[in-house]
Structure formats: C-alpha cells, structure tokens
C-alpha cells in the first residue's frame, strides 16, 4: 500500500489565523482527503510554531508566561480548523518534548560531523520575518515585508551551518527530481538563487531563553527557523521513535506559502542531507490570498476571519470557493460579493437545485424509488467517465481547481441531460415509462458520482447529497465508488434546499432603479431589443456603434416559474456569466418552465430594469416570432458559455 505524508507550514501563534492561513490548511485537507478516498494510507500533519520572539513578546504583553499564552492560542487555532472541518491526523507544537528531541537529534548529528561551527554573526535581523537579512535584502533600510519595523543590527557569537557546502548537491537534486519544487515559477526562483551561491547560515541565537537549547551549547537556543523546519520529522519520530520515522519519512508533500519556499527547498534539504536523512518528495509553494485585490492586513482592514466566512453558508461553500475559484499555485482573491455570487451560481442554483429537482421528479413520477429500467443508459455515463478520469489526473497533479471543475462538469451535464430528455414530457405517455425510469436513474447516478468526487472538497455536503440520492457516504473508495453504476434501487429524499439562495441586498433596492419609459412587450420580446432612438446615420438605418450599444449575451437558465396571474409571463433566473439575475419573459404560452432549466438563451444584458407584474426584470430574453405566433427562443448551434457576447 502506498503512503502519503502531507504537512502544512506550522503557524506563528502571535495572532489568530486569517483567511490566507486557512487557505493553505483547506487545500492541504482537500489533498489529504483525496488521498484517503483514493485508498492511500495518509498522514496529515499541522501544528503551531511557538519559539518565535514575536510570540514571546505577545505573551509578555498579555501578562502571560509564553507557554500559557501558547496553550491558549492552541485552542484558538484548533477551534478555527474544526470550524473548517480540517481533518489533520496529528498536530504538533514546537514546545512539545517530542519536538525538542527531534531538534536535539538533528543538531547532534550535524555537530558530530562538523557541519556546525562557531562564528560571529554581525548583521541585520528582521523580527517580523524572524530572519537574518543582508544589506541587499533591505529597501530604504527596512525589510520590504515589514516596512514599519526597524531591523535589528545584531552581533553575537553564533553557531553556523555549512550551507554553502551543499550548493552542488542541491542543484543535482533539483535536476534529478524536477518535481521536488512546484509550481514552476518557484522552481525557477530557487534554481537561480542556488546557482548564485549560498552563504553559511547562523542556526542559533545567544542569550535568549525562549527556544530549544542546543545539545552542545546550553547557552544558545536553536534559531526559530532551524527549530521549526524539524517539526516535519520530529512529528514522525525523529529522535524518539525510529520505527515511526522509518514508516513515514520522507514526507510526500510540504505544502507552504510561496514566501517561505527558500527555507523549505534550500535550508531544510541541506539540513537533511547533512543529517543523512532522505529528502521530502515535493515542496509546493502556493500563492497568496488578497481581499478585494488588496493584501490582507490589519491596518487596511482587509483581514478576514475564516470562521466568520465559514459561518455565512457553512464550511463547505467556503472550501469550494477557495479550491475552485483559485488556480492552485497562483494568487487568489476573495471578496464577499464574489463569494455570494459563486455560492448562488455553483451551489444554490446549480448543484443544490439539481439535487432538489431530481428528488422531486423521483417523488412525483416514481414515488421516490428509482431503478434502472433496462433502457440504454444515456450519454451521462460517458461524461461521468471522462470527468472521473480527468478528476483523478488533476488531483494527482495538485491541480485542485481542475479537479473541482471536473466534478462540476458532471453537474452541468446532468442539468443539460434533464433539459434534453424532458422527463415531464416523457411522463405524459406511458409508452415512455422505461425511458423515464432510466433518465431519472441516470440523473441520480450522475449526482452520486459528482458527490463522490466532491467529497474531499465538501465532505459534509457530499455526505448529505449521497444520503438524499439514497446511497451511503461511509467508507468511500474512489476505485469502487467512482464507477458508473447501472444497478440497485435508490430511495430519494425530498427535503428542503441544501443551499438557499442568497439574495443580494442591492437587487431589492428600488430607490436607485432608473426610470424606464415602457416595459418591454411581453409576447414580442425581440421587438423591444432596439436601443433607445439615437441619431441615425441615414434614414432608418443605425450605425454599428448604435448596434454595439446593445449588449447581447449568452445566458443559462437556472430556474423558471410561472408568474402568478399571468398567462404569458415566466420568471427566469439566469446565469449571465458575471451575475445571476431575474428576467421576466413573455414565453409562457410556448414553453414549460421546467423545460427551460439548463437551457442556453440569448439576452439583452444592459437593458435598464423594468417591473412586470410587480417583478423587476433585469434584461430581456431574445425570441423570434411571426405576428400573432408563438415566440421561439434564440438558440445556438454549438455550446457557448454564459457571458459570451452575441453580435
């Protein structure tokens, strides 16, 4: 059985976790849960980095002993991770005896082989980074990451590690194992850095009490980075449990922020080489999170508490946002508006709505019990097979966002499949009973598969979806449960919405609504598409500029219902690619609401809102009709995504 040992960075405990900290833990959790789903023996390590001068200072400010302060903060961190449903197997604190043993062990090994020597360090130290800085690292005399802090000039007798000696061996390792540093931009940075030559580094601080004393010099403590990096090995027995160490070391993946790639891909592997220990298989430096395009910072007021974000819709929607919206490895942005928008689009309108629709059709047409009928399964089987294969490839390659997208391809295809097969039409003719049974079973089966794939990303919601489509969510195994099944009986449960739609606060604000001269005529929607009269170039012709003022776009129907007391109007909720909005369309005499869901239509995107039967319509649906005839929706010969411009 293969094994997978994944770690995240351990966190300084001088402040609560913010969304950026949480991002890393969520992604690591998704990877760990994916590995477990794939049947790999997995160990997922997280922890806290406590021997920092900033932690020490913060404790003194709070009137606590450093350890008592760290005990308190451990509870704060654990509560955050629990709110986000992070499934770590082990949580290490650098003040634990097992970690001290690991740091002592590696220090002893390095000292014994002459890899550590005495010297005097004189130079800059940034307390914000807890790192020694060279003159060239400073901008206007300050650390660029901590421009408000005065760097310290320190001169002390320190112990040095012969890092410079490892330049060639590191370069050889990078060349032999291109997968060691990912993603590519991080690898290139580190290659350039190491090719430029390495300096020996100080690994101790003199005259400090808060830290791990070095075994060969009780008056010095290990430099906080030298101390912290060892956690990955001390958590699996370095210095305490040889058998555990043998079982789990080397780590399969260190997941860290891109700013600390150098520590993990230069200093840490050199320490391991010097201690004659195997190197981790991979170090992945993920990107940074911004909020509304700005760096997360207390002074900018852009710090987001992940627990608060999880409280809005639950942990799963937040996890989905972080994984699906941010290409893994790149930087990503969070905003409350965008979060609400994606929640409505992916969950309320798409996945949640699909689960409800299939359950209610199963109830209406088959008393809630679905079985395959023997009719040929529809094309969903192929879509699902492709999606499962692509999901596996993406997740193995740590393209988490593509894994999420693959799962949602099944969801989208199922919505389209329902629109195409039109179970409500099949239900009208008993001759179609088998086709109807099979179409409903296929839809439920596709939902089951999507939920299996989404389990690492949305563990609680996926279990709930599996329950609603009548299967167990326990002990899932991708090899077995990621296969299309055309057998068995499913009892579907009709229950309330999984994710109620979040109404935007701006939609109901009528005071800012521009006045509209006339409502578009209900049964001739196309006729109202002409822009307001402007200076025409000649006669009754308009210029291309006039035409381009009308923004025609592709949209997808997410929900449709009749407008009460109106024969002609349907209220549609559509995905325009950039938002979801309500459009009232005069097509009720020609289209059943259910038949429209999932359909791609063309809309006037920039039409001023107008009220029809008390409902604000934000745009207009395009349809053709002959005078007095029924409207026929404009459709496209090939698939186009919502938001595509029509011209």
CA distance 559 to 582: 9
CB of 126 to Zn ion, least distance (A): 3
Number of residues that this document lists for the chain: 647
CB of 286 to Zn ion, least distance (A): 20
Q: Which is nearer to Zn ion, 130 or 341 (CB)?
A: 130
Beta bridge partners of 490: 370
CB of 121 to Zn ion, least distance (A): 17
CB of 154 to Zn ion, least distance (A): 14
DSSP string, 61-129: HTTS-HHHHHHHHHHHHHHHHHHTT---SEEEETTSHHHHHHHHHHHHHHHHTT-EEEEEEEEEEETTT
Q: Which is nearer to Zn ion, 145 or 460 (CB)?
A: 145
Q: Which is nearer to Zn ion, 285 or 459 (CB)?
A: 285
The terminus-to-terminus CA distance of the chain in angstroms comes to 56
CB of 146 to Zn ion, least distance (A): 4
Closest CA to 229 of 125, 78, 110, 71: 110
CB of 137 to Zn ion, least distance (A): 9
Peptide bond preceding 250 in cis form (omega within 30 of 0): yes
If DSSP codes are grouped into helix, strand and coil, which group holds residue 614? coil
CA 177 to chain centre: 27
CB of 12 to Zn ion, least distance (A): 12
Using only C-alpha atoms, the chain has a radius of gyration, in whole angstroms, of 30
Q: Which is nearer to Zn ion, 145 or 550 (CB)?
A: 145
CB of 143 to Zn ion, least distance (A): 3
- What is the helix, strand, coil percentage profile of the chain, to 5? 45, 20, 35
Report whether 17 contacts 77 (CB < 8 A).
yes
CA distance 26 to 458: 10
CB of 207 to Zn ion, least distance (A): 21
Report whether 286 contacts 258 (CB < 8 A).
yes
Instruction: List the 131-133 sheet strands across, edge first.
Output: 131-133, 116-126, 152-161, 201-202
Return the residue matching tokens 């650098």.
94
Q: Which is nearer to Zn ion, 146 or 371 (CB)?
A: 146
Question: Taking the alpha carbons of 348, 350, 355, 361 in that order, is the dihedral positive or negative?
Answer: positive
CA distance 101 to 98: 5
DSSP string, 481-519: HTS----S-EE----S-SSPPPPPTTTT-GGGPPP-SSP
Q: Which is nearer to Zn ion, 153 or 639 (CB)?
A: 153
CB of 147 to Zn ion, least distance (A): 9
CB of 229 to Zn ion, least distance (A): 18
CA distance 548 to 551: 7
Q: Which is nearer to Zn ion, 128 or 593 (CB)?
A: 128
Q: Which is nearer to Zn ion, 129 or 320 (CB)?
A: 129
CA 325 to chain centre: 6
Residues that bind Zn ion (CB under 5 A): 126, 128-129, 143, 145-146
Closest CA to 586 of 545, 527, 542: 527
Q: Which is nearer to Zn ion, 139 or 175 (CB)?
A: 139
Q: Which is nearer to Zn ion, 262 or 562 (CB)?
A: 262
What are the φ and ψ backbone dihedral angles of 291, each rounded to 5 degrees? -120, 120
Question: Taking the alpha carbons of 174, 179, 183, 185 in that order, is the dihedral positive or negative?
Answer: positive
CB of 127 to Zn ion, least distance (A): 8
Q: Which is nearer to Zn ion, 146 or 379 (CB)?
A: 146
Q: Which is nearer to Zn ion, 146 or 165 (CB)?
A: 146
CA distance 391 to 482: 10
CA distance 5 to 41: 8
Q: Which is nearer to Zn ion, 129 or 380 (CB)?
A: 129
CB of 132 to Zn ion, least distance (A): 11
Beta bridge partners of 124: 133, 153
Q: Which is nearer to Zn ion, 86 or 296 (CB)?
A: 296
CB of 285 to Zn ion, least distance (A): 18
Q: For strand 90-93 and strand 41-49, is the pairing parallel, antiparallel, or unpaired?
A: parallel
Q: E strands, 279-361, where?
A: 283-286, 289-291, 294-295, 332-334
């Amino acid at each position: 059985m293969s094994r997978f040992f994944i770690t995240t960075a351990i966190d300084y405990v001088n402040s609560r976790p913010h969304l950026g900290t949480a991002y890393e833990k969520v992604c690591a959790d998704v990877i760990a849960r994916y590995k477990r789903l794939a049947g790999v023996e997995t160990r997922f390590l997280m922890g806290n980095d406590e021997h920092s001068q900033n932690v020490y200072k913060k404790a003194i400010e709070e009137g606590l002993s450093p350890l008592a302060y760290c005990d308190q903060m451990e509870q704060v961190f654990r509560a955050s991770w629990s709110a986000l449903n992070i499934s770590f197997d082990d949580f290490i604190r650098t003040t634990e005896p097992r970690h001290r043993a690991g740091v002592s062990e590696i220090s002893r090994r390095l000292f014994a082989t002459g890899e550590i020597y005495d010297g005097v360090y004189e130079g800059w130290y940034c307390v914000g980074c807890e790192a020694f800085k060279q003159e060239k690292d400073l901008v206007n005399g300050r650390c660029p990451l901590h421009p408000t802090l005065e760097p310290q000039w320190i001169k002390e007798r320190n112990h040095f590690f012969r890092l410079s000696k490892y330049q060639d061996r590191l370069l050889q390792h990078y060349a032999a194992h291109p997968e060691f540093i990912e993603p590519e931009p991080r690898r290139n940075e580190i290659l350039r850095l190491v090719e430029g030559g390495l300096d020996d580094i100080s690994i101790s601080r003199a005259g400090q009490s808060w830290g791990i004393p070095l075994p060969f010099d009780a008056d010095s403590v290990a430099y906080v980075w030298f101390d912290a990096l060892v956690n990955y090995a001390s958590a699996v027995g370095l210095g305490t449990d040889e058998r555990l160490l043998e079982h789990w070391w080397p780590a399969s993946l260190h997941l860290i922020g891109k700013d600390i790639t150098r520590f993990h891909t230069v200093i840490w592997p050199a320490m391991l080489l010097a201690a004659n220990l195997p190197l981790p298989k991979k170090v992945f430096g993920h990107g940074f999170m911004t909020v509304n395009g700005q760096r997360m910072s207390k002074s900018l007021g852009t710090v987001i508490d992940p627990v608060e974000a999880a409280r809005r819709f639950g942990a799963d929607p937040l996890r989905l946002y972080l994984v699906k919206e941010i290409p893994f490895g790149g930087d990503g942005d969070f905003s409350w508006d965008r979060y609400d928008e994606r929640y409505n689009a992916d969950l309320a309108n798409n996945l949640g709505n699909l689960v409800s629709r299939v359950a209610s059709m199963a109830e209406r047409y088959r008393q809630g019990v679905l079985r395959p009928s023997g009719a040929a399964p529809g094309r969903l089987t192929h879509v699902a097979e492709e999606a499962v294969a692509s999901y596996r490839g993406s997740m193995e390659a740590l393209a988490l966002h593509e894994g999420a997208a693959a799962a949602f391809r099944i969801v989208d295809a199922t919505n389209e499949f329902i629109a195409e097969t039109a179970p409500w039409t099949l239900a009208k003719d008993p001759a179609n009973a088998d086709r109807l049974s099979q179409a409903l079973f296929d839809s439920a089966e596709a939902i089951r598969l999507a939920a299996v794939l989404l389990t690492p990303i949305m563990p609680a919601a996926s279990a709930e979806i599996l329950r609603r489509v009548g299967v167990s969510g326990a002990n899932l195994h991708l090899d077995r449960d990621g296969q299309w099944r055309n057998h068995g009986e499913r009892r579907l449960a009709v229950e309330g919405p999984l994710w109620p739609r979040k109404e935007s606060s701006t939609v109901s604000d009528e005071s800012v609504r521009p006045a509209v001269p006339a409502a578009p005529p209900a049964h001739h929607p196309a006729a109202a598409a002409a822009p307001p009269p402007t200076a025409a170039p000649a006669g009754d012709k308009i210029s291309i500029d006039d035409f381009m003022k009308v923004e025609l776009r592709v949209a997808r129907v997410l929900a449709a219902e009749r407008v009460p007391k109106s024969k002609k109007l349907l209220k549609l909720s559509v995905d325009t690619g950039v938002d979801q909005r309500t459009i009232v369309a005069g097509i009720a005499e020609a289209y059943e609401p259910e038949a429209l869901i999932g359909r791609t239509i063309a809309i006037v995107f920039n039409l001023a809102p107008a009220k029809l039967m008390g409902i604000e319509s934000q745009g207009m649906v395009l349809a053709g009709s002959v005078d007095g005839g029924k409207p026929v929706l404009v459709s496209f010969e090939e698939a186009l995504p919502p938001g595509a411009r029509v011209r």
